[in-house]
A and B are shown apart, each in its own frame.
Chain A
Amino acid sequence: MTVANAPVLVSGVAQAEPGRHPIGEPAGPAKRSPAGLAKYLGLAPFAVYVVIFLAIPTVLAIVTGFFTEDGSFTFANIAGLFDPLVLATFASSFWVSAITAVVGSVVGALVCYALLGTRAGGALRSFIDSASSVLAQFGGVMLAFAFIAAIGSQSLVTLWLKDTLGVDIYADGVWLYQPAGLLVVYTYFQVPLMIITFLPALEGLKTQWAEANATLGGTRFTYWTRIAFPVLAPSFFGSLLLLFANAFSSYATAAALVSQGSPIVPLQIRAALVSETVLGRENMAGALALGMVVVMVVVMWGYSVLQARTSRWQK
């Protein structure tokens, strides 16, 4: 409602001359309203800041891949993206992200369902909201520690399984420090992210719809299959894409966990940045960054399309 009125009111503000004010004598126009040039100047600090620290780095990150160290144009780095080794890295990044996104979104949606009917400001919800945010967004390195403590080769559980049940979970090698380990740890931050993003949509289901369903002789089953699932589908798949993007771009946990090699793209970027040359190519980090951005743009575009369809039901 405020949004709809805003243009009208604001144009009124812009036209307001000091003399029009009913109370008191007019002050200088500059004091009254940041009119004319002044209000455009107000946008300058943010614009300058964003250009220097967001636009320029983004462009540099994407463009450096097209240049050699001495500044001449090249497609060698981009061609390097199609090196079998790099393609395999993108593939394993893709699978780690896809699998953890699917598992995370299903488990997360279940938790959201379980939370239906709990009070939004209540202690349970506050606890789950905050814990989810912490685990989903700020864990990073610390989650790697958590899993080394929980299921590392010296953890209580691992030792207990080995000594008591004779089950050695690391019989085939310590997979925790390999991509398989990333699956476990990433799922741990995907589920909370799903809870944060999907709960509002699930709560947007109106009780009237359930009543309408009942009035028309529908069952619990028809409610879920004919009403809830179709309404929630865009939101669910949107969240799924967001989870994918989240895992795909995640770096800290993997950096702290994976000790050998660079099995996923972000670690490959690290290797390229630290050693300057990967596959004997300079500026390979730029090409890898470009590859990541392409994937991220496609995924986030899908997310925003689905998000737009979601908001239709949330008016």
Chain B
Amino acid sequence: MKPSNLTRWIILGVVGLVFAFPILAMVEFTFRDGLSGAHTLDHWTGLFSEDAARTYRNLFTAIGNSLLLAVVTVGIVLVILLPTMILVHLQFPRLKRVLEFICIIPITVPAIVLVVGLAPVYGVVVKVFGGSVWTLAFAYGITVLPYAYRAIQSNLDAVDVVTLSEAGRTLRADWGRVLWFVLLPNLKRGVLAASFISVAVVLGEFTIASLLNRVNLQTALLQVSQSDPYVAIIFALLALLFAFVLLLSIGRLGRTRRTGSES
């Protein structure tokens, strides 16, 4: 019972226009010349001027922080979550439901609740690891759990991991080799998807950073928006575009997602 072409394009057209409007308004805003009503390229060209690096130093530092956090968070996903998921899949099939339950807890316990308990935990973390920015990635590893889990799991379900690893071991490969040369190539799509989506989550994260008094892209954007809303909106647009491209390329990886298997 598909919609007729006319119905389809009316719905998509109207909703599309309404949803494009705020984004287009952001674009328009970046070309404003103050309150004069005229338009100018100054806000964009200003980013490439000689003293931009100094003027927007805080913002660039924050972008650096967010990129570092994204890298460390992806590291946590790859080093802690991924091997655990493979191990559970191969050796502890009964724990699958438990693992799934744990991984979706962060939806029920949202960041704004978690941060209340993270504050004292970070009191200890700072003593052990120091107060560097990257330690925030420990919290982000939890934030990205539901997304990363779903991406990897759908790939695990689509590949016969058990047979593959048995085949590898029959050919005298040790577990390291099986993991690296047999399993990972087959899980590449899920692993990449999990990584990309984790990067997108980390770049958009505001709640935890802001309430633990750390500086990341989003907290810096909010701060910059008070003094220079044009630049804040330019960077917000670029961040949205970057996240969009990341997610689009997940789609490009080619999906084996079966209809209806995702919630």
Contacts and interface: CB of A to CB of B under 8 A. Distances in A.
A interacts with B: yes
Interface of A: 2-3, 5-7, 9-10, 13-14, 16, 21-24, 27, 31-34, 39, 42-43, 45-46, 49-50, 52-54, 56-62, 64, 107, 110-111, 113-118, 120-121, 126-127, 129-131, 133-135, 137-143, 145-151, 154-157, 188, 191-192, 197, 200-201, 203-205, 210, 220, 223-224, 228, 245, 249-252, 255-256, 266, 269-270, 273-274, 285-286, 289, 292-293, 296-297, 300, 307, 310, 314
Contacts of A58: 105, 109, 113-114, 117
B232 A13 contact: no
B90 A145 contact: no
Given A16-B169, A57-B115, A146-B22, 6 more contacts: A6-B89, A42-B87, A61-B114, A126-B251, A138-B201, A191-B15
A14 B211 CA distance: 47
Contacts of B29: 149, 155
Contact of A61 (B2, B107, B116, B263): B116
Residue of B113, B160, B174, B254 with most partner-chain A CB within 10 A:
B113
Interface in B163-192: 163, 165-166, 169-172, 174-175
A-B residue pairs, 7 tightest by C-beta: A57-B117, A249-B110, A138-B204, A60-B117, A61-B117, A117-B2, A150-B25
Interface residues of B, number: 105
Residue of B1, B15, B147 with most partner-chain A CB within 10 A:
B1
Given A21-B170, A117-B2, A188-B22, A203 B116 contact: no
Contacts of B221: 141-142, 145
B263 A60 contact: no
A50 B102 contact: yes
Interface stretch (B40-48, B54-62, B241-249): B241-249
Contacts of A314: 259-261
Given A130-B251, A228-B1, A32 B114 contact: no
Interface in B96-134: 96, 102, 105-121
Given A114-B7, A141-B206, A255-B210, A130 B114 contact: no
Interface of B: 1-3, 7-9, 11-12, 15, 19, 21-23, 25-26, 28-29, 35, 76, 79-81, 83-84, 87-96, 102, 105-121, 138-139, 141-142, 145, 147, 157, 160-163, 165-166, 169-172, 174-175, 197, 200-201, 203-207, 210-211, 218, 221-222, 225, 229, 232-233, 236, 239-240, 243-244, 247-248, 250-252, 254-255, 259-263
A131 B240 CA distance: 9
B91 A14 contact: yes
B169 A32 contact: yes
